[in-house]
Structure 1
Amino acid sequence: MKSEAPKSLPFYQLCTPVCAMIFAIGLAGCSTSGSNSDDPNSEKSLATAEAQKRITASELTAFCPTVTIREGTSVLTNYGKSDKTPENLIYQASISNQTRSCQSSDGTMTMNVAVSGKVVPGPKFTPGTITVPIRVAVIQGTNVLYSTLHKQAIPASDGSAATQFVFNDPSVSFPKPTAQNIQVFIGFDEGPASAASKSKPKTQ
């Protein structure tokens, strides 16, 4: 019998072990390279963390709480000591169109809170200076951070037309918040000046 010469293996079978080895080495190299980029102490990671800090600080600095006119405090009617009937009305005052601006420094936020309003004379109106009570309050959760009752003087000399006025409190100051959970309320308040509880929002 003739001895058969050993058959040579196809090329793809010869390449398989070599290719597998090269592929494994390549994976190891990729894995090592990837771990460097995930290193929290790497230059790239430190730069990213620093950028995130700057963004957070910028967002907090830009935060300026909105101002809300408390429900039921936008209108003030004055009947004097007479019965509360239309013919005894001295004047009716109202406020609207609130606005504000904010500044932050040294851990303190200072706001300038403003509203526009008008006084409409009634049948018993007498020209002169009208004084209306306006309270500004800052609430954080259940804590009252600021509450001041202002006496706004309004010269009203025309008994046949409404008198416009603008009120602002430029000194609303409180610790700069670390979260956006501040509420600012404004409205007429005929209660005592120290009644901070009146500034709390009504529960629904």
Structure 2
Amino acid sequence: MVAPVSGRGSAAVFTVIGLALALSGCQSNPLSVLGGGSSEPQQVQTLPEGKVTQEELLAYCPAVSMRELRAVHDTYQRGGDGDASKLVYRATLADATRACTYGGGMTNLTIAVAGRVIPGPAGAVGTAQLPLQLTVYRDNEVIQDKTVNHPVAIADTVGATQFVLTDTTISIPNPQERNIRVLVGFNPPKR
């Protein structure tokens, strides 16, 4: 008959058993997992299509930030600007990020902007056109500026509708310095 294990000794027994089980699952040459202990020549692995290379991982990808004063966009019924009872919808930005690819001396940016649209008292089902502005700066100089009218389908007038804009059209020559930044926000309406 086996006596039950209790107290501090039980933890040690389970640790030893767990270690033994883990080691029993290893290959016959445990160093081969780490790339050592084998006399066979090492194979150089090539990355499958779409994988990130070490150069790309270490390359400079400009930061993306939201314009604080342009992170909210209100749309009113005609002639109702500033009247809360005539608010059709309020769009807000929540987050922005980017990814870069490199080739031919160019840095190609994929910019993603997430937010939501909240119907107001005058809201209706339909499509909201959100004027999102993407501006690329080198220090304080604007080197690219574009506005994307992003459609968001509003299915009901209760609750918020989430949206994500993904833009892949910004390409810049590979920066010589780390002085590039991208700002995103709503393009204010012309008055």
Q: By the TM > 0.5 criterion, same fold? A: yes
Q: Quick one: distance in 2 between partners of 1:135 and 1:61?
A: 28
Q: Quick one: distance in 2 between partners of 1:142 and 1:154?
A: 32
- Partner of residue 73 from structure 1, selected from 70, 73, 79: 70
1:14-45: CA deviation from partner (whole Å, max 9, x where unpaired):
xxxxxxxxxxxxxxxxxxxxxxxxxxxxxxxx
- Partner of residue 62 from structure 1, selected from 37, 59, 62: 59
TM-score (norm 2): 0.66
- Secondary structure of the 1:72 match is helix
- Partner of residue 112 from structure 1, selected from 105, 110, 113: 110
Runs (4 or more) in structure 1 with deviation over 3 Å come to: 57-61
Q: Quick one: distance in 2 between partners of 1:140 and 1:76?
A: 26
1:109-133: CA deviation from partner (whole Å, max 9, x where unpaired):
1100011110000000111011010
Give the alignment's Cα RMSD to 1 decimal.
Answer: 1.9
Q: Quick one: distance in 2 between partners of 1:112 and 1:88?
A: 36
Contact map agreement 2:56 2:101 (CA 8 A) in 1: no
| Letter paired with 2:161 | T
Rg: which structure is higher? 1
Distance change >3 Å, CA 83–CA 186, structure 1 → 2: closer
Residues paired across the two proteins, number: 136
Q: Does 1:122 align with 2:112?
A: no
Contact map agreement 2:62 2:178 (CA 8 A) in 1: yes
Q: Does 1:92 align with 2:90?
A: yes
More strand by share: 2
TM-score (norm 1): 0.62
Q: CA deviation at 1:83?
A: 4.1
Q: Which runs of 5 or more residues in structure 1 are unaligned? A: 1-56, 193-204
Matches within 5 A, 1:1-204: 58=55, 62-80=59-77, 81-191=79-189
Distance change >3 Å, CA 83–CA 73, structure 1 → 2: closer
Q: Quick one: distance in 2 between partners of 1:104 and 1:145?
A: 18
- Secondary structure of the 2:129 match is strand
Contact map agreement 2:132 2:184 (CA 8 A) in 1: yes
Q: Which runs of 5 or more residues in structure 2 are unaligned? A: 1-53
1:80-113: CA deviation from partner (whole Å, max 9, x where unpaired):
3214122111110011221110011121111000
Contact map agreement 2:131 2:149 (CA 8 A) in 1: yes
| Letter paired with 2:94 | S
Contact map agreement 1:61 1:104 (CA 8 A) in 2: no
Q: CA deviation at 1:190?
A: 2.8
More helix by share: 1
Distance change >3 Å, CA 106–CA 65, structure 1 → 2: same
Q: Quick one: distance in 2 between partners of 1:154 and 1:59?
A: 33
Q: CA deviation at 1:142?
A: 3.1
Distance change >3 Å, CA 102–CA 82, structure 1 → 2: same
